[in-house]
Amino acid sequence: MNILMVLTSHDRLGDTGQKTGFWLEEFAAPYYVFKEAGAKITLASPAGGQPPLDPKSDEPTAQTPATERFYQDNEAKQQLAATLPLTQVDAADFDAVFYPGGHGPLWDLANDVTSIALIEAFARADKPVGLVCHAPGALIKARNDAGQPLISGRKVTGFSNSEEEAVGLTEVVPFLIEDEFKRLGGLYEKGADWQPLTVTDGHLVTGQNPASSEVTAEALLKLLS
């Protein structure tokens, strides 16, 4: 079982002067879910190398058992520091793909032609595609074989408008996932703020927020079993 994990390379939070990137827990929890299941995990990002970590996800209040495990895991840290450039990745080599969130994907993965083509290739092959929190934003330019938005008519979730408002970034992000998914014809679902929610539609699995990272990874594995 080969699973590809795609992380952001974007580190700037709009024009705020603040840093962003990937959210540690949203990487660590799925990583260990996949590892415990015996999967071979490959990490990739648009630029390759070390993806930028959202500094807020490194704060004490954001830690979980999965992040604590990661901090003690030198092998995982070395693997993360050497992600493959996305251009070197072939969807045919993998059984599934998973995108951790953080705000970074709203800027780079949402528009990255290689990532978009990768998602479309996995979808065409009926291979599971999982994304959590802000990473579902990477779906907005993906199309199905009919040329329609990949999420049109499909049940999806992602970071909600109310959650974005709660973190004070509604006016900073390039788009709001909830609004954009509805505009594209996606059947957007949301649960309570900060509570786990994962939505599966065919081979597409999306999670709403950081609390959803582990259950989204488990839902992806269920599609592979």
Q: Given this model, what pLDDT does residue 31 score?
A: 98
Identify the band that residue 176 occupies on the pLDDT scale cut at 50, 70 and 90.
Answer: very high
- pLDDT score of 191: 97
What are the distances in angstroms from CA 131 to CA 7, 40, 109, 209?
Answer: 11, 18, 12, 10
Residue 114: the pLDDT is 98
Reported confidence tier of residue 225, pLDDT bands at 50, 70, 90: confident
The CATH number linked to 71 is 3.40.50.880
Helix or strand (DSSP H, E) at 40:
strand 40-45
What span, in angstroms and rounded, lies between the C-alpha atoms of 102 and 104?
6
Tell me the pLDDT tens digit for each residue of 65-103: 999 999 999 999 999 999 999 999 999 999 999 999 999
Task: Give the confidence band of 13 by pLDDT, cuts at 50, 70, 90.
Answer: very high
Domain encompassing residue 117: 2-224
Q: What is the number of domains present in the chain?
A: 1
Q: Please write the tens of the pLDDT for every residue from 29-72.
A: 999 999 999 999 999 999 999 999 999 999 999 999 999 999 99
Each residue's pLDDT tens digit, 106-132:
999 999 999 999 999 999 999 999 999
Spatial CA neighbour of 57 closest among 82, 83, 20: 20
Please choose, from the candidates 135, 179, 118, 182, the residue with its C-alpha nearest in 3D space to the C-alpha of residue 155. Answer: 182
Instruction: Give the predicted TM-score (pTM) of the model.
Output: 0.97
Q: pLDDT class for 215, splitting at 50, 70, 90?
A: very high
